[in-house]
Copies of this chain bind each other. A is one copy, B any other.
Amino acid sequence: MSRGVKDGNGHLAPRALDVAALAGVSTATVSRAFNAPEKVAPEIRKKVLQAAAELGWMPHPAGAALASRRTWLAGVLIPTLDNDVFASQVGALQTRLSADGVTVLIGCSNYDADQAVNQVRTMLARGVEALAIVGESHRPGLFETITARGVPYVVTYSHRPGSPHPCVGFDNAAAFRRIARHLLELGHRDFALIHQPSIDNDRVVARLEGLRETLAEEGLALRPQHVREGPSSIVFGRQSLREIMEASGPRPTAVICGNDALAIGALIEARALGLRVPDELSITGFDDAAMAEQTDPPLTTMRVDNAEIGKQAADYLLACLSGKKPARPAPLESRLIPRTSTGPAPRL
């Protein structure tokens, strides 16, 4: 050990040179023993590994990154960790990437477009070599910043036909079309909608469009007083259902909710209002959360495999990193899970 710098314990941090000395080889061989084992004679490699273990040495990532121009870092931009949907995407992404030695940096935008840009900048400054970004409605500069750096990226959670970006996700519009079809087939003609904030959120916007489109095909539309937009909480679901049911004019026979929390709120409030579900009112959710099949009645909802999104996004980015030009991923399926919170529209 040749330097004076000590770590917090008064020990000297070993370097490749120390390992090399102990093993009786050069630093080049030490490096190769770790990064290109096939180029090193087995017995030499063993000596190096043993010396490293003895000194507790690991390659210093900064030195390695500098010399090799590889950071083995990837970033993921999500709205928040406080939502299972994104948490499981991140979890799966990380599991897959770390299997290939890539470490994941997480950036949360808190649903704020400016924070999103900042987070991406920060991750880029950290040297991430690939990025997964939830959604595609971001500040204009965001994707330019990324491509200007030549960093491969993938948009997750949504898979809009015609998007200029590589995406891993499902077609949000199609998912809501599916829900609408389900209810139309049950004879519903009067719909209400309770959904999460749509600003800067292309997933939500796409869903609304899918819904409007499908209703329009039947000459139907949502009455403004039957649409509520707000935080995706049980409480907002309850409050919204009450307001919708108290509004003047004809009552809806089906309430479509942007996620299961809102739907559970609606379900609870329906009970409080003495409305029988599904006899008098049908309610749908989205996500198929664990709670959805435990409600009374169990909730009809759409199931999306978020872990699969994370995994496929990771696969795509890994392929990019290994120099391939992978094909654009195919859209994932979202699946209607019909339970008993939906039923035939009540006879007039």
Contact = CB atoms under 8 A, between A and B. Distances in A.
A125 B84 contact: no
Interface residues of A, number: 57
A106 interface: yes
A103 B103 contact: no
Interface stretch (A166-174, A179-187, A210-218, A261-269): A261-269
A104 B103 contact: no
Nearest to A151: B8
Contacts of A150: 7-9, 11
Contacts of A233: 290
A87 B265 CA distance: 23
A341 interface: no
Given A66-B62, A69-B5, A294-B265, A90 B98 contact: no
B126 A103 contact: yes
Given A81-B90, A103-B126, A268-B294, A63 B61 contact: no
Given A94-B108, A103-B105, A147 B9 contact: yes
Given A61-B125, A82-B88, A87-B82, A294 B149 contact: no
Interface string A99-137: 000011110100000000000011011110000000000
How many copies of this protein are present in the complex? 2
Given A56-B148, A81-B91, A127 B61 contact: yes
Interface of A: 5, 7-9, 11, 56, 58-63, 65-66, 69, 71, 80-82, 84, 87-88, 90-91, 94-95, 98, 103-106, 108, 121-122, 124-127, 147-152, 233-235, 238, 261, 264-265, 268, 271, 290-291, 294, 296
Given A5-B69, A58-B124, 17 more contacts: A7-B150, A8-B152, A9-B148, A9-B150, A56-B148, A60-B127, A62-B66, A80-B91, A81-B87, A104-B105, A106-B106, A238-B294, A264-B291, A265-B294, A268-B296, A271-B296, A291-B291
